[in-house]
Chains A and B, each alone.
Chain A
Amino acid sequence: MTPSLEARQLTIEVDAGRRSFTPVEDLDVAVAPGRALGIVGESGSGKSLTLRALMGLLPPRVTVRSGEIRVDGEVIPRSTSRRPRATPGVAMVFQEPLGALNPLLRVKGLLDDVLRAGGRSGRKGTEERALSLLREVGISDPAAVMSAYPHQISGGQRQRVMIAMAMASEPRVLLCDEPTTALDVTIQQRILRLLRRIREEHEMSLIYVTHDLAVVNEVCDDVAIIYAGQIVESGKAEEVFASPAHPYTRMLIDSVPDVAERLDDLVGIPGVAPNPWQFPTGCRFHPRCFMAEPSCSEGPAFTRRQISTDRATACTYAEQLLDLSGGSDGSAA
């Protein structure tokens, strides 16, 4: 099936004055129609940049150097940071709702702006539409929220308003950049449920970027693990979490704290993620990997290979790892 949204061989370049570097290199990622894809990685792995490239809204001094973005198989003309152009049919929910909402406009004005930019309705229709959007994202008193400024409503409501703004353009793919990181767990739960509901009702695809494995497990059908600007493993979320085929995934799962366990029992991953201007040669994860062999540090960056119909991994020793976790009962998931 043709993916709804797809990045092929995406390389993103950051222009930092005299030197430039590529925090994302030859990255391939795709979301199928009606499915939810989670992109998981540490801070600085390039996950947010990838998402912004998919949205067509890269920050200044950041450009797509090579590769293409496709919507329903069609290549989208490249957007530049001087003249950004949102990818058609795609909308985004930002991480930080306060930065993503103009503080001087009431919610009414915010929605009015996106509705009119979409040119979908005249002046009269917009208010009706704005109210119904707010109702749809579960705001119990839309009329009152309409006349409030962003700083006057709660974090959860702000995030709902942002989802309503994203929904205003009737997108086919919704991109979420850790929309619940700033919220407490109970509110997070509600926002996730809301996302799942509107995705089902509108038959949208979803790409959800996060570092929180539990959230991915809850919201996503598929998962792609990103490390140092490349996808190292991809597949169905439950399969990947039950038996990871890349040591990085394995170690990520092992470093999720269990509420009942004490913190000093945590495994964690030794070392830190590499800087994007000095990625290691060969497999980029080898300096931190528990099963690295000398050959892992040689050659160009490791690319993913198919290990079953819908699973791919960049690890040479994936089979060994699978045997290993197959031996245990897969309790890590």
Chain B
Amino acid sequence: MTAAIAPLQEFEENFRRRLPNKLIAGLVMLACFVLAAALASVIAPYDPNKLVAYPLEEPSSTHLLGTDPLGRDVLSRIIHAARVDLPLAVTVVALSAAVGAVVGGIAAYRGGFVDSLLNGLGSLVQAFPVYVLLIAVVFALGPGARSLVIGYVVINWVIYARIVRGEVLRVRGLDYVHAARGTGTSGVRLLCLHIFPNAFRQVLIYMSSDVVLAIGTIATFSFFGIGVQAPTAEWGAMVASGRLYLTTDPLQAIFPGLTMIALGLTFALIGDGLDDHLGV
């Protein structure tokens, strides 16, 4: 490294230092959640599905968050539920984004009739109230996590398709893409090297807030008993079973609820931080 590039090092250091605090906080929190989920059987003090004490015990040193109406350890169940909720939410969002990216990419790239057709299809899906459509799909396929994922993707791809379409159109108008096209860079190479990577920043930011929505939706459906099925520990289902005791033992619903709020905050911080950092 010589003088010409010395400012570069300085810049890179600056750049790293200026990684938004929000983003760092969010990533640290996410790491905690992921670790908890991955090491659930090690960290959790009890088996989440075993009856280990009397029902509805108050938090104590043996059961930090108390026990549920059946006498299972609440903390262990909350930790194990992360194994269900996190992968489910991430899968749902990743699949939606993937489908949306393909559809949006094709719409923008082909233009004309194909574009109108795919746009119309998207509008058709969006014309239905989200929950009505989702309930219909879940009932048609039978309750369970798999149906929930399929139903969610069927609805959710539209937003990603819209974002990707708009971004691809924007990026495609930039000089470097135009120049690359003119000099004979082929379709796939052009898409993978020049267009998609630059169109994907918006998607990334939206994904992080979408995870929060997905977790909420999964919990809602499990709360109503048509999502993740008992006895699997799931935050929404835990809130549901706790709501019967809301007047006498409000903590039953509060602890899993707080966990979801914390996870929501995590992804909100990541999304916000990414937004600042990528400066879209």
Q: Which residues of A contact B (CB under 8 A)?
A: 55-57, 59-60, 79, 84-86, 92, 94, 96, 99-105, 109, 113-114, 117-118, 139-141, 144-145, 148, 152-154, 169
Contacts and interface: CB of A to CB of B under 8 A. Distances in A.
Contacts of A99: 174-176
Contact of B198 (A56, A57, A96, A102): A102
A99 to B, nearest CB: 5
B140 interface: no
B116 to A, nearest CB: 16
A36 B222 CA distance: 73
B102 interface: no
B231 interface: no
Nearest to A79: B182
A148 B9 CA distance: 10
20 contacts: A55-B182, A56-B182, A57-B181, A86-B183, A92-B179, A100-B174, A101-B176, A102-B177, A104-B198, A105-B193, A113-B185, A117-B180, A117-B185, A139-B4, A140-B4, A141-B4, A145-B4, A153-B8, A154-B7, A169-B183
A84 B178 contact: yes
B1 interface: yes
Contacts of B7: 154
B74 to A, nearest CB: 46
A60 B111 CA distance: 12
Contacts of A144: 1-2, 4-5, 8
Contact of B5 (A109, A117, A148): A148
Nearest to A85: B182
A-B complex: 5 closest residue pairs judged by Cβ atoms: A86-B182, A144-B5, A100-B175, A141-B4, A57-B182
Contacts of A153: 8
Interface string B219-230: 000000000000
B70 to A, nearest CB: 53
Interface of B: 1-2, 4-5, 7-8, 11-12, 173-185, 193-194, 197-198
A113 B190 CA distance: 10
Contacts of A154: 7
Contacts of B182: 55-57, 79, 84-86
B8 A152 contact: yes
A102 B178 contact: no
A99 B174 CA distance: 6
Nearest to B4: A141
B78 to A, nearest CB: 40
The majority secondary structure among interface residues of chain A is: loop
B179 A100 contact: yes
A85 B193 CA distance: 19
Contacts of B1: 141, 144
Contacts of A152: 8, 11-12
Nearest to A144: B5
A92 B181 CA distance: 13
Contacts of B12: 152
B185 A140 contact: no
Nearest to B177: A102
A60 B193 CA distance: 21
Nearest to A52: B178
Given A84-B178, A94-B175, A117 B4 contact: no
Nearest to A169: B183
- Which of B2, B8, B185, B194 counts the most A-chain CB atoms under 10 A from its CB? B8
Contacts of A96: 175
A140 B2 contact: yes
A154 B184 CA distance: 28
Contacts of B179: 57, 86, 92, 94, 100
A165 B5 CA distance: 20
B175 to A, nearest CB: 4
B187 to A, nearest CB: 11
Given A145-B5, A148-B8, A152-B12, A102 B194 contact: yes
A69 B106 CA distance: 33
A102 B5 contact: no
A101 B2 CA distance: 24
Nearest to B186: A117
Contact of A103 (B2, B173, B198): B198
Given A92-B179, A113-B180, A113-B185, A102 B2 contact: no
A152 B174 CA distance: 20
A117 B183 contact: yes
A16 to B, nearest CB: 15
A84 B175 CA distance: 12
A146 to B, nearest CB: 10
A169 B185 CA distance: 13
Given A99-B176, A100-B176, A144-B2, A117 B184 contact: yes
